[in-house]
Amino acid sequence: MPGYDELEGKIWMDGQMVDWKDAKIHVLSHALHYASAVFEGERSYNGKIFASRAHSERLKNSAQLMDFDIPYSVDEIEEAKAAVLKANNQSDAYVRAFAWRGAGEDMGVSAIRNPVRMAIASWQWGAYYGDAKMKGAKLDISKWKRPSPETIPSKAKAAGLYMICTMSKHAAEAKGCSDALMMDYRGYVAEATGANIFFTKDGEVHTPKADCFLDGITRKTVMGMLEERQIKVHERHIMPEELEGFEQCWLTGTAAEVTPVGQIGTYNFEVGTMARDIAEGYEKLVRA
């Protein structure tokens, strides 16, 4: 497979459509040195981006939490995303919208005088965890913890917050796992490196309280699906030792969609009826 810098197509960049190979930034862009960047991962199904406006609104909010303003309205971002899919002649695709502090007069921690830039790309992308939807993903347990909201803007989907996620996923893959489960700064179960997590026990669902990590759009969608099915959901702090007593488990995220989990560390889970039902129901919902 070619590198992502070698793909063909168009990328929307700062209000204009440019050839894929020409979508470049300067090496002294502030974001490259100080992680002043935010992004969204979205999926288009049958030509329509699921929860598109919610993603655009979150992108704007993330930037504000990172102390910069994206110079495009939500409506303009929506139009640009549609234009990218059209330019690339794509119906089912992954869409990445992102904004960052570029190169400018400042080259230090402060970047007030640097321009805020934005780009949107789209490409074909299949299942995030390969065949895990059938047999269940295998997760490692990360040594890194999600930080306290007193130390990071935990409600922002910001590039710098994924540094420990990348390291955790690399360590997991080296052990033959698809991903890693992360605890939070207090030791409670938090999330995977790029997806939220759910567990079942006695016909009810338990999911970590999103008080120090991103409350995902897919997470909220799945919670709505469970409510419609009149399944009780306990949104609470979960201790690691509770993993032994849970029966089923699944991950949720735009990239992950709904992916059953078969193993976390030494704990095993059934890829059962509820996990399969939610995964199938989500697939129908996003393509409705």
How distant, in Å, are the alpha carbons of 183, 184, 200, 212 from that of 187? 5, 5, 20, 12
Strands (E), 137-219: 137-146, 179-184, 189-192, 196-201, 204-208
Alpha helices in the chain, H assignment, sequence order: 30-34, 52-65, 74-87, 132-135, 163-174, 217-228, 273-286
Q: Is 200:274 a contact under the CB 8 Å cutoff?
A: yes
Residue 167, burial from CB neighbour count under 10 angstroms (0-12, 13-18, 19+): middle
Share of the chain above pLDDT 90, in %: 95
Share of the chain above pLDDT 70, in %: 98
pLDDT digits (tens, 9 = 90+) for 207-227: 999 999 999 999 999 999 999
Q: Which two tokens stand for residue 54?
A: 């919610």
Is residue 13 pLDDT above 70, yes or no?
yes
Q: How far apart are CA 66 and CA 152, in angstroms?
A: 10
Question: CB neighbours (10 Å) of residue 221?
Answer: 19
pLDDT at 133: 67
Domains located in the chain, CATH noted: 4-123 (3.30.470.10), 132-286 (3.20.10.10)
Q: Which residues are tagged catalytic?
A: 157
State the average pLDDT over residues 147-171.
97
Q: Which two tokens stand for residue 177?
A: 């796992």
pLDDT digits (tens, 9 = 90+) for 224-277: 999 999 999 999 999 999 999 999 999 999 999 999 999 999 999 999 999 999
Q: How far apart are CA 238 and CA 205, in angstroms?
A: 12
Question: CB neighbours (10 Å) of residue 8?
Answer: 10
DSSP-assigned letter for residue 247? -
State the average pLDDT over residues 161-169.
98
Q: Which long-range contacts (CB under 8 A, 24 or more apart) does 70-74 make?
A: 70/99, 70/116, 70/118, 71/116, 71/118, 72/15, 72/118
More confident residue, 42 or 132: 42
132: pLDDT confidence band, cut at 50, 70 and 90? low
Instruction: List all residues 6 or more positions away from 14 whose beta carbon is below 8 Å from its beta carbon.
Output: 117, 118, 119
pLDDT digits (tens, 9 = 90+) for 186-196: 999 999 999 99
pTM for the model: 0.95
Nearest partner of 196 among 278, 123, 267, judged by Cα: 278
pLDDT digits (tens, 9 = 90+) for 51-62: 999 999 999 999
129: pLDDT confidence band, cut at 50, 70 and 90? confident
Write the single-letter amino acid at 126.
G
Is residue 131 pLDDT above 90, yes or no?
no
